[in-house]
Chains A and B, each alone.
Chain A
Amino acid sequence: MIISTTAFAWLVGVALVLTIAAPIILLGLLIADWKKGRLW
């Protein structure tokens, strides 16, 4: 059973979007923690 071009593109695309979002989420959380004084 060969993975289709569309499924392959979706797999890589979704993974890429999540990986692009990860640093943005981490920085957002860092700012939120810092504002609340709960960094450490």
Chain B
Amino acid sequence: MNIVNTAILDPTTGWLILAAFSALWIALGWYFGRNTQQLDDYVLAGRRVGLALGTATIMATWVTSNTTMAAPQLALQMGVWGMIGYSLGSVGLLMFAPLARRIRRLMPSGYTSGDFVRLRYGNFAWRVFLLISLFYSLGWLVSMGMAGGILIHALTGIPYHYGMTVILSICVGYTLLGGLRAVIGTDFIQALLILSGAVIIAVLAIRQIGLDTIHAAVLAERPELLNLLMPASIMFLFNNLLFGVGEIFHSNVWWSRAFAFREGVGFRACLLAGLLWAPIPIVAGFIALATPALGLNVPAADMVGPMVAAQILGTTGAVLVLIMVFAALSSSLDSLLAATSILVVEDIYRRHLKPEATAVQMRRATARIIVGLGILTWILCAPRLTTLAELLYFTGAFVASTIWPVAAGLFWRRANSAGAIAGMILGSAAGLYSYFAVGFYVAALVGAAVSMTLVIAASFLKPERFDFGNLQEIHPRESKPVSGGL
């Protein structure tokens, strides 16, 4: 398909929208981050984020371009279970709620998820975990960068490299200006934009076509999409659930928020964000089921969302979709840049290369790493290799293998280092094998199951008596004391 010829908006309108929102994000990034000279202010928003900003940043980060574009695609391919399966991504957020509270209490001065694994399981487990975490972060960054270029191109006809460069540069720019405060501040506005766009398109679809008509047309033309016993969809549902849990439990994107939230906020913010996030894939996805009623011929399933929006609302619908996609991409990319940069600085730069680094040097290193990550992502996205975009699916086996080492390590004294290491390595290997031998939809399931078995078996064979007080590491170069405790 020649996407340029089927672009829904003309490039001039596309450039105008990109320019307006780029200017807005940069201005807000500067505004929110204007007083972030201290390391903790820059990388953890001062560890005082309240409930409103906390809830919004979790929601906006978890709404990626996939949520707005792939949810309709899944509805078109897997029907009702496709939408519901995607919305079960919220289970990861709900399950992270008790972890967020525990993390904040046990590690009031912590910086990264790597800090936890190092202190809980020792150096070898920490390095295995870092490999998984950095591989996943890079996979997510590349898939978001490529998605940015491809979606902007598909929606506006703007060449792939220009769109990809704009989205990466803007996110690097405002994250660099204000660190995590800029990320969280812009996330609030991005969350409002995404929610409003999804609601407007859904309400107009219902008003113009009607749910009865949508249901009747699907039943007549593609009844399998309304079948609640579609086996492939049910497999997808469980795999997606575990993939999401694995992504959230291990990734520093979520751990950095747990550290950044004010005492007592983490649990409520994750719970509320999970509840409010769950309906978004259904609202964004069901419009794809309107294609039979509209008589739309969809040449590419991944473009069904924008096509239906444009059919219902004309140019306004296409503009809304572009704004939603731009907000969804920015809110995920900025979080990844901020969280991965502190992971690299704390766990590689300080812990491996420069143990005597001061807070000022770490602050400076974080800014450089943000730029470096942006450049690396651009280089990897430039050839537009689809195999790289699939990297994220590939990581399902790896991240699912970290669920049990992380959860058991936080709550269970008996969990030991041998079980965590075996769980991560053998769980990843088994998940990877099943990815190739069976299919993508079982990789996370197998990875999590093998890891769980090993972590539990090792804990019973050689139980540890871990003292959780050992996680309260005082950061030697903190510029100010941090409140909280066990």
In the complex, the answer to whether B211 meets A9 with C-beta atoms within 8 Å is yes
Q: Which of B204-262 contact A (CB under 8 A)?
A: 206, 211-212, 215-216, 219, 223, 226-229, 262
The 10 closest A-B pairs by CB, nearest first: A15-B279, A29-B52, A15-B282, A30-B52, A33-B50, A18-B279, A22-B276, A38-B50, A9-B211, A5-B215
Main secondary structure of the interface of A (DSSP, over half): helix
Minimum CB–CB distance from A9 to chain B (whole Å) comes to 5
Alpha-carbon separation in the docked complex, A24 to B342 (Å): 33
- What is the size, in residues, of chain A's interface with B at 8 Å between Cβ atoms? 28
In the complex, the answer to whether B199 meets A19 with C-beta atoms within 8 Å is yes
Interface 9-residue window, one of B187-195, B368-376, B460-468: B187-195
In the complex, the answer to whether A26 meets B227 with C-beta atoms within 8 Å is no
Q: Please, which residue of chain B has its CB at the minimum distance from the CB of A5?
A: B215
Main secondary structure of the interface of B (DSSP, over half): helix
Q: Which of A1-40 contact B (CB under 8 A)?
A: 1-3, 5, 8-9, 11-16, 18-23, 25-27, 29-30, 32-33, 38-40
Minimum CB–CB distance from B468 to chain A (whole Å) comes to 28
Q: Please, which residue of chain A has its CB at the minimum distance from the CB of B211?
A: A9
Residues on A lying within 8 angstroms of B by beta carbon are 1-3, 5, 8-9, 11-16, 18-23, 25-27, 29-30, 32-33, 38-40
Q: Which residues of B contact A14 (CB under 8 A)?
A: 279
Q: 24 pairs across A/B with beta carbons < 8 Å?
A: A2-B228, A9-B211, A12-B282, A15-B279, A15-B280, A15-B283, A16-B279, A16-B283, A18-B279, A19-B198, A20-B199, A23-B192, A23-B195, A23-B196, A26-B52, A26-B192, A29-B51, A30-B52, A32-B52, A33-B52, A33-B53, A39-B52, A40-B48, A40-B53
Q: Please, which residue of chain B has its CB at the minimum distance from the CB of A12?
A: B286
Alpha-carbon separation in the docked complex, A38 to B262 (Å): 9
In the complex, the answer to whether A3 meets B80 with C-beta atoms within 8 Å is yes
Q: Please, which residue of chain A has its CB at the minimum distance from the CB of B281?
A: A15
Alpha-carbon separation in the docked complex, A25 to B195 (Å): 12
Q: Do A12 and B52 contact each other (CB < 8 Å), given the known contacts A5-B216, A22-B195?
A: no
Minimum CB–CB distance from B331 to chain A (whole Å) comes to 13
In the complex, the answer to whether B211 meets A8 with C-beta atoms within 8 Å is yes
Q: Which of A8, A16, A25, A39 contacts B53 (CB 8 A)?
A: A39
Q: Which residues of B contact A16 (CB under 8 A)?
A: 199, 202-203, 206, 279, 283
At the interface, yes or no: B122 with Cβ under 8 Å from chain A?
A: no
**Contact digits for B165-197, partner A, Cβ 8 Å, 1 yes 0 no:** 000000000000000010000001001100110
Minimum CB–CB distance from B214 to chain A (whole Å) comes to 8
In the complex, the answer to whether B80 meets A8 with C-beta atoms within 8 Å is yes
Q: Which residues of A contact B53 (CB under 8 A)?
A: 30, 33, 39-40
Q: Please, which residue of chain B has its CB at the minimum distance from the CB of A22?
A: B276
In the complex, the answer to whether B226 meets A8 with C-beta atoms within 8 Å is yes
